[in-house]
Structures are given as C-alpha cells and as structure tokens.
Structure 1
Amino acid sequence: MKRRVVAGVSVAAAAGIAVTATVTMNAEAAWTSASNVSASGWMADDSPRVSVDRQGDALLAWTAGDLSTTYSYRRVQTRVKFANGTTGAIRTLSPDGASVAWPEADSDDTGDSAVVWEQDSQVVGRRIAASGSLVGPVQKLSTSGPATGPVVAVTPGGTAMAAWTEIRDGSWYAVARRLKLDGTLGAPITLGSGSAEKPAIGVDRNGQFVIAWVRGSEVVAKRITSTSVSSAKSLTSSIASYGGFGMVRVGVDRDGDAVVSYHSGGGDRSQVWASRWSRTGTLASPLRISASTDNVGFHHALATDLDGDSVIVWTRYNSSKLELVGRRLSAGGARGSVTTLGLGDRPDLALDDDGDGMLVFHTVVPTSTIPYSYTKSSARLVSRSGIFGTTKTLTSDGRVPQVDARPSSRFTVIWQQATHPGTIKSVTGP
C-alpha cells in the first residue's frame, strides 16, 4: 500500500461528479499534459488505480471493454507510465469472458507490482514486473465465495499481501494471502470473522503489514510479519455505533505505527473517527475527526507520511450539497484546524515521505443547458503542516480521480473521462 488508502465503491455513486485536486507545496516542475491511458475504442469503468514506485514510475490499472466486440466484456488492464514521460504497452491481465471489477494495485520500491480484483465472485491477483510485463498466471486468492473487497499492499522488497472478505458456510470472514514476487502464492491466512465491508491494508518500511476490517459491531486490526500474525485488536470498543462501522482506511509510518480511520453510525448521524495503534501495541483512545454536528457523507480519505503525520479529508452535506472538509492529524495525536474545501466528492489523498501531499476529488458543476451539469477534475496541494492550497483544474471532463506520490513532491493522477466512452486519462505534476 502506498502512502494513501483507497476504497472501492459503486460506479453509480460517482456518476456525474467532477474531479478536483489541491496543492500547497513548492512545485518542482510543471504539470504534464493529460494523456490517454486506455485504448481507443474501449469503454472504461470509473475505478482506475495508480501506484508510484520510489523512482517515480507509475503503474496505472483499470477495467475496460472493447466496444467493437459483441458483448464488450470487461478486462483488467495495466500500463506503466515511466518517470521520463514515456508509457509502456497496455497489458490485459484477466481472461476474456470473465466478470471483473474493482482492481487495486501497489508497487515495491523498484516498480514490481501486484494487482488484485474481483473475478467471477472470487478474488484473484497477478504480479506485474517493473517493465510492465506480466509475471505468472492469474492466481485465485480467495478460498470460498462469494468473495469481495480486495485490497493489496507490497513491501519495499516486493512481497505483496492481499486482503478481502469472503463467505464461508453462510458467514463472513476476513482473509489475507501473500502473492510473491515470482507470482506464486502463500497459504491463506484467516484473520477472523468479518463483514461485507471492504478491509484496509498498509505496510511499513520493514515489511510489516497492518490489516483492519469491520467485525460485527467493531473495527479490529492485526499485524502480520514474515513469521507471525498478531491477535486482533479492537479499535472501537469505546464508541457507541448503533448503525455499525464502515469505510475503513489504514495509514502506516516507516516503523509500523498505524492510523486507522472509519465511519461510525453512532447517535443520530454518521461520524469520521481515527484510532492510533502504535507498533508496540499501545492503542490510543479514538479521536473524533468530523464535528459532532457534521452530516457526514459516504466517502473519506486518509494518507500518512513516513513520520506518522496524517491528513484526513471527508465529505459532509451542506444544504443538500456535498462539500469537502479536511484536517491534519499529527503523529502525536494532535488534531489540526478544520478547513472547508468547497463542493466535491470522492476524495483521494497521497503524501510524500515528508508529508507534502495532494488531494484529488470530483465535483458536479451545474449548467443551464442540457445535460445541466458537467464533471471536472482538479488538483490541490497540501503542505506538510496541513495547509490546503488553491485548486488547479486538471480537466473539465473527468471523475473519480486517484493520486499517488513519489518520495519527494511529485504526483501522478489518474481519472475516468466523464463523457462517453469514459477514457482513462493521467497527468503528472506539479
């Protein structure tokens, strides 16, 4: 997992929304021109993903169907966007005719990557070399079905860990499994009882994973090393949540201190919370991130730098319109001031090693003529002190942006074109 965590959501939830990102640090270079990622004549879905390695090479992943074919079956596809500005060939990871959705990707320090996705009610995965070539066949990761909500993180040295939830004998379980550098599998690791909610995963610079998921009426987490799996730690025992928990995210610093954010349905409205779980096992009391008066929306985003400082952005309703709100959370647990960021939805965040970051999101812009709105994509930088910069529009025709960072202040953004045929596009900057 990179310095940000992303959760998959339905295509319908994003329809007709605009994309925006903001930046507050000094630009080290100009923005590149936006380029097409997916193939001409293919229709893509609004679930693209991006993972950037330590050299600045980016693996781009998405699903799309060939419009020239009878049924336009969706395929999971990838290509590498190299730091020098060139792009590799498009690679198709999934077989023809399979039902595929919700790819997730992550990379090691040198660009070897893992991609996981849902395929025919199972969770599968495949390794990608730094050059963009495929490593080994598609591997079935799940042990029962239906299985859903895959996430993946890759250690600096290249070992990938996927996590998901699956149904066994009528009950949900959270499960994890290694997908090794050569494309072979480790044994499945049953984490414990779970739910239909998507889990979250992170990894530190020593290769220790943190996985968090919803178990019944609580959020729990485990640490996994090369030789051990910890007992489950309940993160939410002190929070009353009559509506349950969901939308779990994980951020991990260089040494393994973790921040886990999530929504609760306690009281008369949803809230955004964060729990800090140190590498030594100490659990701090949960922190309310949103205001108690916020009418919190569906989405939020979390990113954590190598020192353990985080930024959290969430949505809330204001006069029936969604707006974005953000704040910093220090490694010591100090909550920064709340910043209202204007109308928007589907936020994603990335921080570099030192905490300089970027927020991306999309927003619907109403018009007086048919179709009475358009969707734009923009970017906004975030300083390491948690100050949000001014908005830069990336395109007036884009939605569901995702972002990842190099070690130092340069970002790659990917999004879906809002209008037909939904081409996947990308830009790097600033």
Structure 2
Amino acid sequence: MKRRVIAGVSVAATAGIAVTATVTMNAEAAWTSASNVSASGWMADDSPRVSVDRQGDALLAWTAGDLSTTYSYRRVQTRVKFANGTTGAIRTLSPDGASVAWPEADSDDTGDSAVVWEQDSQVVGRRVAASGSLVGPVQKLSTSGPATGPVVAVTPGGTAMAAWTEIRDGSWCAVARRLKLDGTLGAPITLGSGSAEKPAIGVDRNGQFVIAWVRGSEVVAKRITSTSVSSAKVLTSSIASYGGFGMVRVGVDRGGDAVIGYHSGGGDRAQVWASRWSRTGTLAAPLRISASTDNVGFHHALATDLDGDSVIVWTRYNSSGKLELVGRRLSAGGTRGSVTTLGPGDRPDLALDDDGDGMLVFHTVVPTSTIPYSYTKSSARLVSRSGIFGTTKTLTSDGRVPQVDARPSSRFTVIWQQATHPGTIKSVTGP
C-alpha cells in the first residue's frame, strides 16, 4: 500500500514540466535523468513496482530473467534508489528455478520494506531493509493453493500485512497475514469467502489496516488492528451488478477513513464506483464516479492524501472506439469534482503527497505508418490539490506500464518497463 492507492516509464534530463497555472511547482522542479534499474542482459516483465519512504528513498521491485541462461528463469529483484540520487545493489529475493510473478511492495516511514509475490502457485514474501539488504528468508504466506493476487501494506513503524485469495476445499477464500519487521510471520487471518479477483489494502498512520475484496456478487471490507478484526462491511448492496464486481482499490487517510473504488458490470456497461467507509464504521452510499454513459475500460487508479481527499482516474472508450483517460477529484466530504477528459492513454497509476499534490502516469500506444506500426510511450501529468490536471509530459517514447509513488511533499519516483526488447526496467525522479 502506498499513498497513491491504496493498492504496481529512456528519458533525457529536463528543466521542468509544463503545467497549467493552477498547478504549483515544487522547488526541486527538475527531472533526473532516467536510469536503468534491472541488470544488463536480463529481460524483465511488465509488472515493476515502486514504494517511497518519508525521506524520499525508493524501493524498486520487478521480475526479470537472465538471457544468458538456458531457461531464463524469472527472479524477483529489488534495489534502492536513494533520495540523493545514488542506487544500491540489485538483490534477488526469490530462489533459482521458481515460477514467480506479480511482485508488490510497500515501505514504512524509514524505508524498511516488505515485498510479496506469487511463487509456484503460492503467495510468499520477504522483508528488505532500508539499506536494501535482505532480512530473513523467503516466507510462505498462503495456507492452501492455488493462491493468487497478493497485495501488501506497511505501517509507519514497520509491520507489514499481506492479503490475497486462495482455494480452500474447492472455494475461494480471502486471507491476510503479518510479515514482521524481522522477517517472521504472524498467524494467518481468514477474512472469509472470496473470489479470484485481487484484493486491495491500505493502512492509516495509526497502523490500522483496511482490506477490501470481492466476495461472490459483492464487494466487502474489514478493518484489522493489532488486537482485532472487524466484521465484514458490505459496500455494494445498493448496486445491481449483473456482470459482478472487480478491480478493487483502497485509499486510507491519516485517521483511517477509507475510500474503496471498484468496477461494476451493472446494466448494459461497466461503471466505476467509490464507497466511503469512515473510521467510526459509517458507510456512505456508493458514489458513481464514471458517467452512466461511459463505456468504461479495464483499468482505473485511486489515490488518497492524509486529509482524505482522493483522485480517481479511469479509462473509457471514446466514440472512435479508442481508449482515453478520464479523471476527477473526490473530496473527503464526498463531493465529486468535475470530470476532466485527459486524452488517449491506458494503465493509469496515481500518487498523492501528504497534502494532495499528485502525479498521474500512464502509457499510450501510438500508431505509425511503418513496421511495427505502433510504439508505446509513457507520460506524466501533475495534479493539483484542488484536482486540476496539468499538461502532459512525455517521459519516454519507449516505455509501458509506468508506476509512481510520492515522498511527503511533491517529489515523485516513476518506474516503467522499456517497451522494446529486452524490456529493461527504468526509473526517473521529478519534478
């Protein structure tokens, strides 16, 4: 879990990013040069992740295989990108020969992190120290299999909570488990029946977790403290969804008020919704975030600042059948801001700093008249705390699936996969 969600973009250095007048520039208004994150001669996958601590140090995580080996087995790898611009060594978290995928990472205030991933049809995890060194062995988190869709959040003091779904006795079950600062495990926490959909997790500044997941034909959530697990709160009872629910996202403010975003398949088209669940247990009626006429696409992103204000960006198909991005602000009081059409794009990701200044990153497939007839570029837009989107800055003309996280005040680290072979993982920090 990062402030952006919660639930993972070659660039030349530039003097800044052009934005609308309503977007305040940070004093450090310059982008670093993009750097290679993964090792030369390794081929990476399109699932990199980034988590930034409160000093601005970033843990970068990805999967990649050594092309010089016969089978190029995938490994989960990490390295730290420090706020001073230096990078640590690449660390391999997973064993040789294992089948690994979909790493997720989060960090505490001082940079101690937890990484979880799928490995051989199970969910596993490992701690990484702020220096980048590994803490303890790989730990098997799941209790049955197959297990899928791991997510993770870390409290300010360092306790991690992972959540996922697994098959037990032929049915899906949602499960959570602590992965402690020293790398040891807590007992499994059975949340209840679930689905193959990936859950979502967030944590407040007091260390209270919010986990949301799809249970049959509804979205439910629970709160977990150091001593208790709440009963499940059904978020979607007032929404008809003939196609079911999915793509759950969670944002949590400093005190524990949560915003949970999700897709529904109700009526003749998918919609994007958000439910607001207060720290006292009050559940507001679901808010339709997309327009009822939107032909909503697959992906959306949600980020919440420490005051509880959120930004939500989703994809929809325009009148030409092409994907475009759309965004709006959702205030802590539940007021929906105006909708902004953001132009062509897909795979959005968002991060907000403590006060709500943010960044949206995304990629766009651009058609060309020559072979291979398209290229994929990754871009960024700043977002003001009032919900105004700045102009688009192209980060690279050869990058896909960018991910972003923020330090406490308006400085962002972006990671992406090079779109062309060998799919090198790259990163940049700015503005």
The CA RMSD over aligned residues, in Å, is: 4.1
Counterparts in 2 of 1:246-257, with a 5 A limit? 246-257=246-257
- Residue 96 of structure 2 aligns to a residue whose secondary structure is coil
Moved more, 15-24 or 111-120: 15-24
Q: 1:247 to 1:227 in 2, by over 3 A?
A: same
Unaligned runs of 5+ in 1: none
Counterparts in 2 of 1:21-60, with a 5 A limit? 25-26=25-26, 28-60=28-60
Are the aligned partners of 1:109 and 1:156 in contact in 2 as well (CA < 8 Å)?
yes
Q: 1:276 to 1:13 in 2, by over 3 A?
A: farther
List per-residue Cα deviations over 1:223-264 (Å, max 9, x = no partner).
000000000000000000010000000000000000000000
Alignment partner, residue 416 of structure 2:
415
Offset, 1:29: 2.9
Offset, 1:361: 0.3
- Residue 423 of structure 2 aligns to a residue whose secondary structure is coil
TM norm structure 1: 0.96
Distance 1:295 1:25 in 2: 34
Offset, 1:319: 3.2
Are the aligned partners of 2:9 and 2:399 in contact in 1 as well (CA < 8 Å)?
no
Q: 1:141 to 1:296 in 2, by over 3 A?
A: same
TM norm structure 2: 0.96
Moved more, 173-182 or 372-381: 372-381
Moved more, 375-384 or 151-160: 375-384
Offset, 1:28: 2.6
Are the aligned partners of 2:9 and 2:426 in contact in 1 as well (CA < 8 Å)?
no
Q: 1:8 to 1:389 in 2, by over 3 A?
A: closer
Give percent identity, aligned residues only. Answer: 97
Distance 1:76 1:33 in 2: 25
Q: 1:265 to 1:195 in 2, by over 3 A?
A: same
Moved more, 5-14 or 186-195: 5-14
Moved more, 317-326 or 53-62: 317-326
Are the aligned partners of 1:25 and 1:383 in contact in 2 as well (CA < 8 Å)?
no
- Residue 12 of structure 2 aligns to a residue whose secondary structure is helix
Offset, 1:19: 18
Distance 1:112 1:123 in 2: 20
Name the count of aligned residue pairs: 430
Distance 1:317 1:23 in 2: 28
Q: 1:16 to 1:88 in 2, by over 3 A?
A: closer
The question of 1:357 aligning with 2:358 is answered yes
Q: 1:125 to 1:82 in 2, by over 3 A?
A: same
Q: 1:214 to 1:12 in 2, by over 3 A?
A: farther
Distance 1:25 1:10 in 2: 23
Q: 1:146 to 1:34 in 2, by over 3 A?
A: same
The question of 1:338 aligning with 2:339 is answered yes
Unaligned runs of 5+ in 2: none
Q: 1:323 to 1:158 in 2, by over 3 A?
A: same
Offset, 1:4: 1.6
Are the aligned partners of 1:336 and 1:386 in contact in 2 as well (CA < 8 Å)?
yes
Distance 1:12 1:122 in 2: 40
List per-residue Cα deviations over 1:23-42 (Å, max 9, x = no partner).
76445331000000000000
Are the aligned partners of 1:271 and 1:294 in contact in 2 as well (CA < 8 Å)?
yes
List per-residue Cα deviations over 1:363-417 (Å, max 9, x = no partner).
0011111001111111110000000001111110000000000000000000000
Moved more, 17-26 or 374-383: 17-26
Moved more, 20-29 or 326-335: 20-29
- Residue 191 of structure 1 aligns to a residue whose secondary structure is strand
Q: 1:389 to 1:55 in 2, by over 3 A?
A: same
Q: 1:107 to 1:400 in 2, by over 3 A?
A: same
The question of 1:312 aligning with 2:312 is answered yes
- Residue 5 of structure 1 aligns to a residue whose secondary structure is coil
Distance 1:304 1:348 in 2: 12
Q: 1:13 to 1:368 in 2, by over 3 A?
A: farther
Offset, 1:60: 0.0
Q: 1:404 to 1:336 in 2, by over 3 A?
A: same
Q: 1:248 to 1:22 in 2, by over 3 A?
A: farther
